[in-house]
Structure 1
Amino acid sequence: MENILLGAVGLTWAIVELTLRVRDRVRGKGGTEGDRGTRRFSGALLMAAVVGAWVLSAVAGRHSPLRVPGLEAAGVVVLFAGVVTRVWAVATLGRSFRTTVEVDVGQAVVTSGPYRWVRHPSYTGLLLAALGLGLGFGTWPGLVLCAVLPVVGLWRRIEVEEAEMTRVLGDAYEAYKGRTKRLVPGLW
């Protein structure tokens, strides 16, 4: 049952991501000049983590020492929480959300919804979703891949994005940075 739920929520996540890309194109937004290759890099590492964890799960036997039984249900819950967090962040930003690093001149700093706790809740959602898949696929190496590679991919992207936000939004964004964490409320 957990495998079906994991697949259904994973497919929902993929549809959300595809929809965001299509939405950018339809609106004539989503230029990648400002992101310095970070969308491609972070996306590649995310895909490598998910595909790697899936392959490990597929080749590891039921009684393999790589397998950690009982993580599947937790994986579904964490994956679902990640997708919900991502969608909530996108909905809160509305037309200002893009899959690329772009900030509209005159755009206000959003501090409502999940942005009241962290500066990058859509990335928090991505990281939770990847971690959920790592748990759901049920191997230790797969879990490590899904916990580490997406963070590596987003680290530089967040730096690039925050520099652009500071450049365009100025003191208002600096003040916001001073009172919120990047990805994890109260920690980081």
Structure 2
Amino acid sequence: MIWYTGLVLAVAVERLAELGVALRNTRWSRARGGRESGRGHYPAMVALHTGLLAGCLAETALAGRPFVPRLGWTMAAGVIAAQALRWWCVATLGPRWNTRVIVVPGLPLVTGGPYRWLRHPNYVAVAVEGLALPLVHGAWITALVFTLLNTVLMTVRIRCEETALGAAATPSPARTAGGADVRA
């Protein structure tokens, strides 16, 4: 159990690092006219992700969940893969990556890195991590609850993000010349 607590705490530290990157990137985006959407669901997202970490530790300790090697090591590999995908997304988006939905008008969609194959690869990382991290040590209730709530939240989040990206991609008269979008 001690090593599992260490794993969950390592994920918590990683999340704090993400928030540091997001804060820096928020300043970058706002300095370039970035507009935030979806503020209403952001606190729920923070609570859900905090609850995931707390639930992993609480369920494992309180319900006496055992470590089942075959499941545990497979899920640990899933956690590592999710972290790798997440940081690939962060590196690919650079200063445009954020935990919030902030879109800088006039910038084209990123189509490199994992975005070459998936529209929202970071959310795949979140889903994998949310299922795998609890199951490393058998916390199946936490995995189930997080997955269900995350599915609802991601439905809201992706709809919000798509709307914000679509609005930013719509050419305004100031960005057009003779009716053609001049951003390309």
Q: Please indicate the TM-score interval, normalised by the length of the shorter structure.
A: 0.7 to 0.9
How many residues end up aligned between the 2 structures?
167
- Separation of aligned partners in 1, 2:97 and 2:156: 19
Q: CA RMSD in A?
A: 2.8
Check 1:35–1:84 CA distance in 2 against 1; reply closer, same or farther (3 A cut). same
Q: How far is 1:164 from its partner?
A: 0.8
Which of the two has greater strand per residue? 2
The residue number in structure 2 matching 1:69 is 68
1:157 lines up with 2:157 in the alignment: yes
Which residue identity lines up with residue 16 of structure 1 in the other structure?
A
Written as runs of structure 1 = structure 2, the 5 A alignment for 1:167-186 is: 167-170=167-170
Which residue identity lines up with residue 58 of structure 1 in the other structure?
A
Q: Contact 2:79 / 2:129 at 8 angstroms: preserved in 1?
A: yes
- Separation of aligned partners in 1, 2:37 and 2:111: 23
Provide the secondary structure at the position in 1 that maps to 2:136: helix
The residue number in structure 2 matching 1:40 is 43
Moved more, 87-96 or 124-133: 124-133
Written as runs of structure 1 = structure 2, the 5 A alignment for 1:2-41 is: 3=4, 6-7=7-8, 9-24=10-25, 27=28, 29=30, 33-41=36-44
Q: Contact 1:134 / 1:147 at 8 angstroms: preserved in 2?
A: no
Provide the secondary structure at the position in 2 that maps to 1:106: coil
- Separation of aligned partners in 2, 1:2 and 1:75: 14
Which residue identity lines up with residue 117 of structure 2 in the other structure?
W
Q: Contact 1:24 / 1:98 at 8 angstroms: preserved in 2?
A: yes
Normalised by the length of structure 2, the TM-score is 0.76
- Separation of aligned partners in 2, 1:113 and 1:33: 24
- Separation of aligned partners in 2, 1:4 and 1:33: 35
Normalised by the length of structure 1, the TM-score is 0.74
The residue number in structure 2 matching 1:186 is none
The residue number in structure 2 matching 1:143 is 143
- Separation of aligned partners in 2, 1:151 and 1:84: 21
Provide the secondary structure at the position in 1 that maps to 2:103: coil
Q: Contact 2:123 / 2:154 at 8 angstroms: preserved in 1?
A: yes
The residue number in structure 2 matching 1:181 is none
What are the ranges of 5 or more consecutive residues in structure 2 without an aligned counterpart?
Answer: 172-184
Q: How far is 1:55 from its partner?
A: 0.8
Check 1:25–1:103 CA distance in 2 against 1; reply closer, same or farther (3 A cut). closer
Percent identity over the alignment is 30
- Separation of aligned partners in 1, 2:19 and 2:165: 25
Q: Contact 2:22 / 2:97 at 8 angstroms: preserved in 1?
A: no
What are the ranges of 5 or more consecutive residues in structure 1 without an aligned counterpart?
Answer: 172-188
Which residue identity lines up with residue 50 of structure 1 in the other structure?
L
Q: Deviations over 1:16-70 (max 9, x none)?
A: 32322332355474988521412222221222233223211111225xxxx5723
Moved more, 126-135 or 78-87: 126-135
The residue number in structure 2 matching 1:109 is 109
State the structure with more CA Rg: 2
- Separation of aligned partners in 2, 1:16 and 1:85: 15
